[in-house]
Structure 1
Amino acid sequence: MRLISFHAAGRDRFGIVIGDGVFDLSERTTFSGVRDVVARNGMNELEHLCRGATPDYRLDEIVFRIPVPDADKIICVGVNYPDRNAEYKDGSDLPKFPSLFLRTRGSFVGHGQPILLPPESPQLDYEGELVVVIGKGGRRIPRESALEHIFGLSICNEGSVRDWMRHAKFNVTQGKNFDASGSIGPWIDVLKEPSGLGDLHLRTWVNGDLRQEDKIERMIFPIDYLIHYISTFTTLQPGDLIVTGTPTGSGARFDPPRFLHDGDSVRVEISGVGVLENKITVEK
């Protein structure tokens, strides 16, 4: 099943994707939204409610929001594919621990919504990534049971303003948090069983040109390790999002760099999860 947050008929809503439409759950349940469904383990109730249902809205009638609009934390992983480490050309060995940073909810938009190119920089870049949505929360989660804490999967274009990532010596926060500079969506693909994650295939296109392609199984720090490691220092909450890193091929790694421009289209596809697509628009 695919769980979605969206805006339609003048209000924010959530529902289940059925074919090319959405069955609206906003006024049919006691859940306040997607995060509440995750926290209260409500999928069995929703599946029963949706059995035989017909959509209330077509997908082309709604405004997509990020799947968990009120997530407590959005934790992002840097340099998590072997070729990405080599891209830095610094001769370094593979990292012993993951590079992590936080992003605000406002730095992301939903599927189909414009990603904003800020006036302060011409160096907006794309990064296609898998998103893990935490179901059962916890602290110091053992690696051997970490996959049991996954609620589902989504997709991210983890847009980055490259020159602002170099404003300071030890952080990338500024360049990773411009308002509406990235996207997450279009929905959460809810996992029945936490198996087959390594079979996922990620591709990113810019204006139809394939720029990134890799398999999730090649990540330096796999999903079970990330959940274990991150939960060591912070309590993971239901609905938290872990953005797991991007393969080689982002615009900054070309010579000369190939940053995004007004009117460009970025499409990220992960097999079995879906397609996330956004156009780039100059911020006014």
Structure 2
Amino acid sequence: MKLVRFGQAGQEKPGVVDAQGVVRDLSGHVTDIAGAVLDDTSLQTLRGLDVNSLPQAPAGVRLGPCVGQVGKFICIGLNYSDHAAETGAQPPSEPIIFMKATSAICGPDDVLRIPRGSEKTDWEVELGVVIGKTAKYVSREEALDYVAGYCVVHDVSERAFQIERQGQWTKGKSCDTFGPIGPWLVTRDEVADPGQLAMWLKVNGDTRQNGSTRTMIFDVAHLVSYLSQFMSLQPGDVISTGTPPGVGMGMKPPQYLKAGDVVELGIDGLGTQRQSVRADD
């Protein structure tokens, strides 16, 4: 299934995409794509619905973030061997973990706002993993059983805030609109191998990132198991698993986003995003 949330920001309704690509309204069956709705039993119930009998969402309706009520937005740094190489960093021996504020979350096609004082706003296409049931001390072998599905995440980063302003990375990762998620949450039964997904990102039509989850250092099963040793993962938590090479910081000379730019990105089978870049008010 491809699950979505549609409508005005903060007022999204749950939906599902039918075989023709039309968004259908699920609000008669669930209140949101969040929490307990993401466990295997609830997802199986949704699979049993006659999708074509559900009301259609209005044509051209805004798509919101594909997961609601996100408790934790966990990110993995330097998780692609070729991206680590372009930054001059040694591949990590254990996953590098940082948190992104949930207030950064927005819809896949919402305006991307460059924060005040920013000089180095950068792009990063990433595979998002959405947790479906509580995971605590889970093994690698069972880890994927705790995944509800996958989505596209744009892990937007302000490099000066992240690297040059002291402390950890969080302040450079958490600005408003720095976490577009979606368009869809694709349930895990429709993703044969999350380690074999092509991914790409363009700025103003020029390809900047063209990679694959094949070059992940730590795969999805490893990450879910690893994280669950340090914190319980709850339904609706999102793990953003790192980015392939081609970020602005790694270019020579470095290039960054500016007002008026258009960013497009996608992952095979998980949909695409498109954001117009504006200066924040």
TM-score range, shorter chain: over 0.9
In terms of fraction of residues, the more strand-rich structure is 1
- Taking the aligned partners of 1:64 and 1:193, their CA distance within structure 2 comes to 21
- Taking the aligned partners of 2:112 and 2:280, their CA distance within structure 1 comes to 9
Return 5+ residue gaps in structure 2 as ranges: none
Deviations 1:191-246 (A, max 9, x none): 22663222211111111111111111210011110001100000011111100000
1:222-237 → structure 2 map (5 Å cutoff):
222-237=219-234
Identity of aligned residues (%): 33
Contact 2:40 2:148 in 1 (8 A): no
Return 5+ residue gaps in structure 1 as ranges: none
1:89-128 → structure 2 map (5 Å cutoff):
89=88, 92=90, 94-128=91-125
Is the aligned partner of 1:209 residue 2:210? no
**Relative to 1, partners in 2 of residues 1:119 and 1:98: Cα closer, same or farther, differing over 3 Å?**
same
Whichever residue aligns with residue 45 of structure 2, its letter is E
Matched positions, count: 279
Tell me the SS of whatever aligns to 2:224: helix
The TM-score, its normalising length taken from structure 1, stands at: 0.92
Is the aligned partner of 1:173 residue 2:174? no
Contact 1:160 1:182 in 2 (8 A): no
**Relative to 1, partners in 2 of residues 1:193 and 1:52: Cα closer, same or farther, differing over 3 Å?**
closer
Contact 1:20 1:58 in 2 (8 A): no
Q: Which moved more, 1:166-175 or 1:125-134?
A: 166-175
**Relative to 1, partners in 2 of residues 1:137 and 1:210: Cα closer, same or farther, differing over 3 Å?**
same
Q: Which moved more, 1:223-232 or 1:195-204?
A: 195-204
Deviations 1:1-29 (A, max 9, x none): 11111215994211101233211111x12
Aligned residue for 2:71?
72
Aligned residue for 1:86?
85
CA shift for structure 1 position 50: 3.3
Whichever residue aligns with residue 25 of structure 2, its letter is D
Deviations 1:128-180 (A, max 9, x none): 00001111221011001111111111001110011001244441111111111
Whichever residue aligns with residue 85 of structure 2, its letter is A
- Taking the aligned partners of 1:270 and 1:10, their CA distance within structure 2 comes to 26
Contact 2:26 2:54 in 1 (8 A): no
Contact 1:132 1:150 in 2 (8 A): yes
Aligned residue for 1:22?
23
**Relative to 1, partners in 2 of residues 1:59 and 1:257: Cα closer, same or farther, differing over 3 Å?**
farther
Choose the corresponding residue for 1:240, options 237, 246, 260: 237
Q: Which runs of at least 4 in structure 1 moved beyond 3 Å after TM superposition?
A: 8-11, 167-170
**Relative to 1, partners in 2 of residues 1:148 and 1:254: Cα closer, same or farther, differing over 3 Å?**
same
Aligned residue for 1:264?
261
Contact 2:4 2:185 in 1 (8 A): yes
Contact 1:148 1:194 in 2 (8 A): no
**Relative to 1, partners in 2 of residues 1:59 and 1:197: Cα closer, same or farther, differing over 3 Å?**
farther
Whichever residue aligns with residue 185 of structure 1, its letter is G
Aligned residue for 1:56?
56
- Taking the aligned partners of 1:207 and 1:176, their CA distance within structure 2 comes to 22
Is the aligned partner of 1:137 residue 2:134? yes
Contact 1:21 1:55 in 2 (8 A): no
Whichever residue aligns with residue 66 of structure 1, its letter is P
Tell me the SS of whatever aligns to 1:148: helix
Aligned residue for 2:43?
43
Tell me the SS of whatever aligns to 1:77: strand
- Taking the aligned partners of 1:216 and 1:132, their CA distance within structure 2 comes to 12
- Taking the aligned partners of 1:69 and 1:11, their CA distance within structure 2 comes to 11
CA shift for structure 1 position 58: 4.5
